[in-house]
Amino acid sequence: MATSKSARLQSPVGRNLQNVVLGDLLFQPWNQSIYPEDLVAKDADRLYVCRWCFRYSCDGDVSDKHKRACEHRTTPPGTKVYDHGGYAVWEVDGQDYKLFGQNLSLFAKLFLDHKTVFFDVATFLYYILTFTDPDEGYYVLGFFSKEKLSWDANNLACILIFPPYQHKQLGKLLMGVSYKLSGWDSNGGPIGGPEKPLSELGHKSYVRFWAERIARYLLCGKPGSSVQDPDQQKPNSTPKGSRKRPPRETITVEELGLGTGMLTEDVITALKSMGLFDPQATPKKRKSNRTGVVDDTPPGQIVTIHKSDVWDWAQAHHLLLEDPVCDSGFEGLWPPVVSSEGDSQSLTSEDS
């Protein structure tokens, strides 16, 4: 996150911004940000923020004048990477749109208490979530940011759905998109995870997202697989009066991580939250089907999972087997297509 170095910044301590007006929506901030003193007074009652570029002013007339001329009024900045059902995600490079990144970061800080506002946005990519109304144009609903180069394999730095649009499952959509986009760069290995530590709300949201991701994988296959009829996913029930449990699956935490793209620590956190973390005390040696030689290589932490338990968890938590991210939403947009040597461009997108 960032702001201008030249402006005199205020510490959030002692500030008392009462209300924020985003477009035509009025709501209260949760925290304080470090807007420049000469532009945002300490006792400002309202801060008007452009719904398209996040330029800000305490003067309503100035804000209205800007909105009529905003350069992003009709089209968001950056490149569209996902589009499905009216929702779209746009990749915005902080190097190319520094002012946009700074203004977005300052606004986001009003609702993120665990993030620091950085001065340099050039090292970040911003993925903004929009919804387009045929009559009123597009709205920015939230975003996530990502470091261009993360030494900790983070696929997300911070994430926020703006307060008026929360509780609509949009956070899960952005989380899913972050894993999908990063997955194309991971060469089939673990994709990574969000920057830690997470806030209390962020931890709660991610644990639920991870649990649902694992449940879909165990019931339906890898993310993006076609979803069959729900009745076909339900494991066969054990005959009444039988002491035998339904079929179980023995799998390593690492295998679950590779299948879902999640870090092993996140897999374990999710399994524990689902009540499904049942590790084997002593992993058994495995014999190779091809050579018949016993493999002494440590297979990783093995867990035993009953598919019926996964199904019960899914039912209790009203899990939709369909992934919140639709693969067709990326078609023609992402990933970029490398052209042949004879083409006029070396790197293009599938759309024109």
Higher pLDDT: 22 or 251? It is 22
CA nearest to 260, candidates 250, 244, 271: 271
305 DSSP 8-state letter: E
Dist CA 295 CA 317 (whole Å)? 39
Among 195, 200, 331, 341, the active-site one is 195
pTM: 0.82
Higher pLDDT: 42 or 347? It is 42
| Domains assigned to the chain | 19-197 (3.40.630.30), 201-321 (1.10.10.10)
- Is 249 a known active-site residue? no
Phi, psi at residue 348, to the nearest 5°? -135, 170
Q: What one-character-per-residue DSSP string does 200-241 give?
A: HHHHHHHHHHHHHHHHHHHHH-STTPPP--HHHHSPPPPPTT
Cα of 122 vs its chain's centroid, Å: 20
CA nearest to 143, candidates 96, 98, 111, 185: 111
88 DSSP 8-state letter: E
What three-state secondary structure class fits 347?
Answer: strand
314-328: b or e for each residue (b if 16 or more CB lie within 10 Å)? Answer: beeeebeeebbbbee
Q: State pLDDT tens for residues 70-121.
A: 999 999 999 999 999 999 999 999 999 999 999 999 999 999 887 665 668 9
Q: Token pair of 22, please?
A: 């985003």
Q: What's the confidence (pLDDT) of residue 15?
A: 52
CA nearest to 181, candidates 75, 78, 76, 333: 333
β-bridge pairing 56-57 and 158-161: unpaired
Higher pLDDT: 145 or 348? It is 145
Residue 229's contacts (CB-CB under 8 Å, 6 or more residues apart) are none
268-281: b or e for each residue (b if 16 or more CB lie within 10 Å)? Answer: bbbbebbebbeeee
Q: State pLDDT tens for residues 292-302.
A: 544 443 457 88
Distance between the two ends of the chain, CA-based, in angstroms? 32
Q: What's the confidence (pLDDT) of residue 349?
A: 41
Q: What's the confidence (pLDDT) of residue 212?
A: 97
Dist CA 241 CA 327 (whole Å)? 44
- The percent of the chain in helix, strand and coil, each rounded to the nearest 5, is 30, 20, 50
Q: How many CB atoms lie within 10 A of CB 89?
A: 29
Q: What's the confidence (pLDDT) of residue 222?
A: 74
Q: State pLDDT tens for residues 11-57.
A: 444 456 889 999 999 999 998 888 888 888 877 899 999 999 999 99
Evaluate the CA torsion angle 75, 77, 80, 81 in order and state its sign: negative
Mean pLDDT over the full length of the chain: 81
Burial class of residue 234 in the structure, from the number of CB atoms within 10 Å of its CB (0-12 exposed, 13-18 middle, 19+ buried)? middle
Q: What's the confidence (pLDDT) of residue 347?
A: 36
Dist CA 95 CA 123 (whole Å)? 7
174 DSSP 8-state letter: H
